[in-house]
Structure 1
Amino acid sequence: MRAGIIPQPLAELPWRIILLVLAIGSFGLLVLYSAAGGSVRPWALSQGIKLVVFLGAAVAASRVPEGVWKAGAWPVYALLTLALIGVEALGHISGGSQRWLDLGFIRLQPSELMKPAIVLAVARFYDFMPPAEIRRWPAVIGPAVLIAVPAALVMLQPDLGTAIMIGAGGATVMFLAGLPLRLFVGGALGAAVVGRIGFGFLREYQRNRILIFLDPESDPLRTGYHISQSKIAIGSGGIWGKGFLNGTQSHLDYLPEGHTDFVFATMAEEWGLVGGCLLILAFLLVIRWGIDVGQRAESRFARLTAAGLATTIFFYVAINLAMVMGLAPVVGIPLPLVSFGGSAQMTVLLCLAILMSMDRQNRKRVGWR
């Protein structure tokens, strides 16, 4: 490879991770193909095109130096915050939510891009701050404001799941930066109190999701229908599954949103426990690689950013799986690279692009191997 058989820019790429991500995405296409009754339309073909385009863009973006990500952290955060304000004023309404900016050639969802942007912004804040100042109040207040502003704007859309993701990603970077654990314990207790007070201000469907999570059998045919059918689909798959194209819950339309939020249930019915475990293992390998990139990084910014982005991918997977298994309220978090939709796919591949950029910097520093 070093002798010129493969061009150096291609040889420098982490091909094991790229192929692993491609395998996850390709498996997702099979699930969407089956969810459509054995047809590439309307989901698999569109998703496959997006996968190729976004993965190619991620590989190209991996050539961007770490310094560019660092310099652009705050400007990008500011632009996306303005875009979130623009969503409130001019946003496109779909399904009762106002989350998109219609730019003509594309419908942009700024809240999705804010997930990696908040990690970059908070990591840049701590990189800028002297280590001796970490345990003082400015080290808490500054990032808390950075997180609270976009999270509050996203809650207004309303999009509870994305607001949680933004808060979790930023809080992870704060924790990794070295803030005392007692602050997070106190913050969790405070959030519980605020959440109890704010419960009455949630939309009716959001309150129902929480109540159904606490008592799934209270209304199995209405507000609890999603969770009930998801559990049936997962359980009926057994160890080995019913076989490709042989699922009944999704094909007979018992499982709502079987191609988006509940795509894991669609997959588990046909591929069983074995298929589910292999998919989870593949995600864990990607996340583990992201954490390793952070551990090998030399700069504080790169360490915090890599760990924060890897954790963001983890939150995507963990929240979605907990949601479809009835272990968490339904908050509309898709399973990245598998669920139909370009927003989550684009966000996760952007996270991977930044991670590949920092991995390239690490290997360049120690010498290519």
Structure 2
Amino acid sequence: MWDRIKRPIDPALFILILLVFAVSAGVLYSASNRDLERVTDKVVFMGISLGILWFVANIQQRTLMQLALPAYVGGVILLILVEFFGITSHGATRWLNIGITRIQPSEIMRIALPLMVAWYFNHFQASLGKRHYVAGAFIIIIPVLLIMKQPDLGTSLLVASSGFYILFFAGLPWAVLAVMSVAIAVIAYIVTHWDLCINILHEYQCRRIATMLNPMEDPLGAGYHIIQGTIAIGSGGLFGKGWLAGTQTHLDFIPERTTDFIFAVYGEEFGLLGNGLLLVLYLAVIFRGLMIANSASTLFGRLLAGAISMNFFTYALVNMGMVTGMLPVVGVPLPLISYGGTSMVSILAGFGILMSIQRDRPLMKA
């Protein structure tokens, strides 16, 4: 029984995940003011997510390929249904009521989209040409636009990045990358000027960008999150104030301190040294994922493993960037650290796919 349980598990990646989980439990205990119930919920989420990881890791690559198209089409249909029958909360329509619970279809697309694009390029690998990259971009744009319409800028950017990584690893021409870089620069110019931004984004999204550029314009309102996050991280200094000793945290200055801004809690209590150790853990996870991608025996496996690894990097980059005031606040949790089950399930399902690719490698090479 033990041999069967451990067979699909990649030991290095699994140990790294457990180490991040251990950090998460400790930080959450402090961030929640020693709320054992919340920490217990987190542990339960961990157990469920690890079970999903194990289940996905047992799925063979050929089965993943067969699931790619149905998962993508089903996800797009659910996103369309959100438009007509979705549940609205805090001004956003992102959820569907399926009777026993609510689901967020955009979370499904975090896995379904890279699956679909990787399958597409694997299917046409013998005759790849410019038209295939255009078709791949079209596959990415459809769900991204639907998610942006909800509106959910943070998730749409994460979904778009997962698709872009597939295109990049599939050999996207450098000329196209140059054009995309120019386009990104133009978009950055537009969204950082209020009169132009308001014509293409929602007002609250433009306000978030303006707040990022100058949070002191509204220190008690829109800029409060960024200001308190940077104060907490800066006050941690080199070694931090110590576990359970963060003043910004326990005097309730840090907003959303168990979810989106938990990195501010961690930075205050463990300082620059602790931040560096967390970054090393994250980089080790990403490096292991890229090693799996490099050793995969199919184009599908290489593209998918590379995209999942780099998307984990994007998660961490966006969250740390918004907490430190380098990026707008877009509601992206710190991967595997923030409280909540939805993002954890999608991330560990992705890691399960990595382990599936690693497990199938020797068999497929033979």
Query: Per-residue deviation at 1:193?
Result: 4.2
The 5-angstrom pairing of residues 129-140 of structure 1 reads: 129-134=124-129, 136=130, 138-140=131-133
- Find the counterpart in structure 2 of residue 307 from structure 1: 306
Work out whether residues 337 and 345 of structure 1, in 8 Å CA contact, stay in contact via their aligned partners in 2: yes
Map 1:233-248; keep pairs closer than 5 Å.
233-248=232-247
Task: Give 1:21's aligned residue.
Answer: 17
Q: Are residue 172 (structure 1) and residue 165 (structure 2) matched?
A: yes
Alpha-carbon contact 1:237-1:273 (below 8 Å) kept:
yes
Equivalent position of 2:40 in the other structure: 45
Q: For structure 2, which runs of at least 5 residues remain unmatched after alignment?
A: 191-195
> Which amino acid counterpart does residue 11 of structure 2 have in structure 1?
W
Superposition CA RMSD, Å:
1.8
Give the Cα–Cα distance (whole angstroms) in 2 for the partners of residues 153 and 284 of structure 1: 32
SS in 1 for 2:94: strand
Q: Deviations over 1:195-242 (max 9, x none)?
A: 625542422221111112222332222211111100000011112211
Match of 1:149 among 135, 142, 145: 142
**1:62-102 residue CA offsets vs partner (Å, 9 max, x unmatched):** 01101011111111000011111111111122222111112
- Distance in 2 (CA, whole Å) between partners of 1:210 and 1:153 is 21
Pairing 1:190–2:183 present: yes
Partner of 1:277: 276
Change (3 A) 1:302 1:11: closer
Report deviation, 1:270: 1.1
Contact 1:210 1:329 in 2 (8 A): yes
Matched, 1:31 2:27: yes
CA contact (8 A) 1:287 1:314 kept: yes
Q: How does 1:323-334 map to 2 (within 5 A)?
A: 323-334=322-333
CA–CA separation in structure 2 for the residues paired with 1:124 and 1:11 = 25
Q: Deviations over 1:286-324 (max 9, x none)?
A: 111111111001111111111011111111011111111
Amino acid at match of 2:113: I
Unmatched tracts of structure 1, length 5 or more: none
Secondary structure of the structure 1 residue equivalent to 2:308:
helix
Question: Where does residue 193 of structure 2 map in the other structure?
Answer: none
Question: What amino acid is aligned across from residue 109 of structure 2 in structure 1?
Answer: M
Change (3 A) 1:81 1:252: same
> Secondary structure of the equivalent of 1:340?
coil
Q: Distance in 2 between matches of 1:178 and 1:201?
A: 31
Aligned twin of 1:160: 153
How far does residue 183 in structure 1 lie from its aligned partner after superposition?
A: 0.9
- 1:260 alignment counterpart: 259
Are the aligned partners of 2:52 and 2:345 in contact in 1 as well (CA < 8 Å)? no
TM-score, normalising length: structure 2 = 0.93
- Match of 2:42, SS? helix
